[in-house]
Amino acid sequence: MSDYKPLEGRVAVVTGASRGIGRAIAELLAQRGANVSCGDRLGEKAEETASEIAKATGQRTSGCLVDVADFQSAQGFIACAIEEFGKVDILVNNAGITRDNLLMRISEEDWDDVINVNLKGVYNCCKAVIRPMMKQRFGRIVNITSVVGLSGNAGQANYASSKAGMIGFTKSLARELGSRNITVNAVAPGYITTALTDVLSDEYKENAITQTPLGRLGEPEDVAKAVAFLVSEDAAFITGQVLSVDGGMVMM
């Protein structure tokens, strides 16, 4: 394990931390010296993830049950982290779901579920954390959006809307909080090898690779490294930005 610990003394909270991109982010932040609170809709899974990361990195961790779509649950998650570690310096809004279908077939329930988790969840968690961050005059918020929020995608009107909304939210909040030394940025992954993409057909994956100039799907660690940069002192003068981690798939 590397001795490089630029986040030593920081406390990070990560939603959707038990697998895929969220797990990679939580683990890398811990490797770089942060104490980490792992949030997940399955409390046992969050605790298990936290324990594994603690053993692997030597950092203090906690695992908390959180349903980001529920305002009180999000409040409780942040309160749990503050009680455990005394503060929160870093918030990574990673939790997200898909309910893909053509718009004519998307039910109201599937629309609402995606918006509530992906977009309202960001509002809920940010609402819970910004007052403590403002008080300490320091904070780093990173929202995990998607290249689909930049480009759109057939069959994902609900998902693309939620992810595009996250980008507008990120830029607005960055303007509100900049004077308090709080940065707010977004990371937009392309096609990353996670449980969400495992269900795609081989033909679909090959097509995605063809559209990617770097010629491969991304790994969760690719996204985690971008997040680790944005929450570090190296990115202290960066806010309101969207960093695409997509192998060049979408170029704005």
Q: How does residue 3 score in pLDDT terms, banded at 50, 70 and 90? A: confident
Query: Is residue 51 classed as helix, strand or coil in its secondary structure?
Result: helix
Q: CB neighbours of 220 closer than 8 A, spacing ≥ 6?
A: 20, 21, 23, 24, 25, 192, 193, 194
Q: Are 140 and 183 in contact (CB under 8 A)?
A: yes
Residue among 43, 44, 47, 50 nearest 12 (CA) = 50
Catalytic residue among 4, 159, 191, 204: 159
H or E stretch covering 65: strand 61-65
Tokens of 150: 């930049």
Place of tokens 């679909």: 204
Tokens of 118: 């992906």
pLDDT digit string, tens, across residues 164-211: 999 999 999 999 999 999 999 999 999 999 877 777 778 888 888 999
Q: Does the structure show a pLDDT above 90 at 23? A: yes
Q: CB neighbours of 37 closer than 8 A, spacing ≥ 6?
A: 11, 12, 13, 14, 50, 61, 62, 63, 64, 77, 80, 81, 84, 85, 88
DSSP 244: E
Asked if 4 is an active-site residue, the reply is: no
Lowest mean pLDDT among 69-73, 80-84, 147-151, 247-251: 247-251
Q: Give dist(CA 162, CA 114) in Å, integer.
A: 7
User: Model pTM?
Assistant: 0.95
Q: Are 191 and 165 in contact (CB under 8 A)?
A: no
* Alpha helices for 89-213 (secondary structure H): 108-115, 121-136, 148-151, 157-177, 195-198, 202-210
DSSP 96: -
